[in-house]
Structure 1
Amino acid sequence: MPPKSPVPQEVSAELQRVVRRWQQLPLDRALSCMPRARLLLDDLAAPARQVPDLGPAVLMDQLTVLVYDACAADAEAGGDLASRLGDLRRELG
């Protein structure tokens, strides 16, 4: 039996919605939304770490890893994180 994910269901669902929406964006829209998405990435990364800018094709993979890491490090992060992911999804249009 695989181990249980540290990511709460509501966070996982919202992350999937953000990723789906990002994949639907035209490239010019994704590029214009990158600064907002990078704010969330930078907030989720440890203060001493910088998340490299690898472009829009990799951004959602980076976000997925950081969401997992944040939930694994702090089980209480889920509620705020689901809300922040929802805000990002709405900003993507």
Structure 2
Amino acid sequence: MRSPVPQEVSEELRRVVERWRQLPLDHALSRMPLTSAVVQRLADRVAGSRGRPPRRVPDLGPAAVMDQLTVMVFDLYAAQPDAEVADVLSELSGIRHRL
């Protein structure tokens, strides 16, 4: 099965994940609010597109947040194949530039 995630988004997501893995723990912890907020916004969009109410994404810590981000990006494009690439790229690059 082919991923629904556009190539540009997939590449930026890979950059974010790679950069995150290089962070010292204290630095990753300081960036958790920013990163968790993006994960939550994506989750809210997915819920809305499926006609479901938003639910809070659990805080599983810095070791899991990149997995959560990856899943939410995938789910967004699975639910909304026409989701604006520029918007998602902006969210992802915003994380990466603040790391």
Taking structure 1 as the reference length, what is the TM-score of the superposition?
Answer: 0.91
5+ unaligned residues in a row in structure 1: which ranges?
none
Cα drift, residue 65 of structure 1:
0.3
C-alpha RMSD of matched pairs (Å): 1.0
| Greater RCO, 1 or 2 (C-alpha within 8 Å, sep 6+) | 1
Cα drift, residue 61 of structure 1:
0.3
Taking every aligned residue pair, what percent have the same amino acid on both sides? 58
Cα drift, residue 83 of structure 1:
1.9
| Separation in 2, partners of 1:27, 1:16 | 19
Detail structure 1 runs of 4+ shifted over 6 Å in the superposition. Answer: none
Q: How does 1:1-93 map to 2 (within 5 A)?
A: 3-46=1-44, 47-77=53-83, 78-92=85-99
Q: Deviations over 1:22-79 (max 9, x none)?
A: 0000000000000000110110113522111010000000000000001111122222
> Quick check: which one's helix share is greater?
1
The number of residue pairs the alignment matches comes to 90
5+ unaligned residues in a row in structure 2: which ranges?
45-52
Taking structure 2 as the reference length, what is the TM-score of the superposition?
Answer: 0.86
Cα drift, residue 87 of structure 1:
1.2
Matched residue type, 1:38 = S
Between stretches 14-23 and 37-46, larger displacement belongs to 37-46
